[in-house]
Amino acid sequence: MDNQGKIEDGPCLSWRSGCWALLWHERFKNVAKNVFIHLDWSGIPSDDMSRFVRMDKELRARTLNIFYQYFVARDIGFLMPMLAPIYKENGGCYGPKKRFYSPDNKYKCKDEEAISKIFNGEFN
């Protein structure tokens, strides 16, 4: 995803040489079986999770809802971020330590309610 939470729509990740397959694209979707999509979490500043935690709370919630609705509508599993490594100097919210994300309300991101609303179909 980009900094605004936009989902890549090509068959391959746009900033990589070669083809890092995006398994939700039609070119790969029917070949890949029993796949869950999640936000990339390699712990570098440009991965999905590090971008995600630099978003404000409203954009994080909207992004998760868009991803969830997008993938579920296409019969693709989407794993909500519950605990993920992030770049420790990301400048955004974080969980129990600066190098981890958690949606739990006892930490800085406080995304727990948004995720519950998404799962319950109550997100606007």
CA distance 35 to 116: 23
| pLDDT higher than 80, residue 2 | no
| pLDDT higher than 90, residue 96 | yes
Residue 61 pLDDT: 97
Q: How many CB atoms lie within 10 A of CB 80?
A: 16
Q: How many CB atoms lie within 10 A of CB 57?
A: 14
Residues paired with 84 in a beta bridge: 101
Tokens (6 digits) for 92: 């955004």
pTM, full prediction: 0.86
* Least trusted range by pLDDT, from 9-18, 53-62, 70-79: 9-18
Mean of the per-residue pLDDT values of the chain:
88
| pLDDT tens by residue, 23-40 | 787 887 888 778 888 998
> Which of the four pLDDT bands, split at 50, 70 and 90, describes residue 115?
very high
Nearest to 87 by CA among 99, 103, 95, 96: 99
| pLDDT tens by residue, 40-59 | 888 888 889 999 999 999 99
Domain boundaries, the chain: 26-119
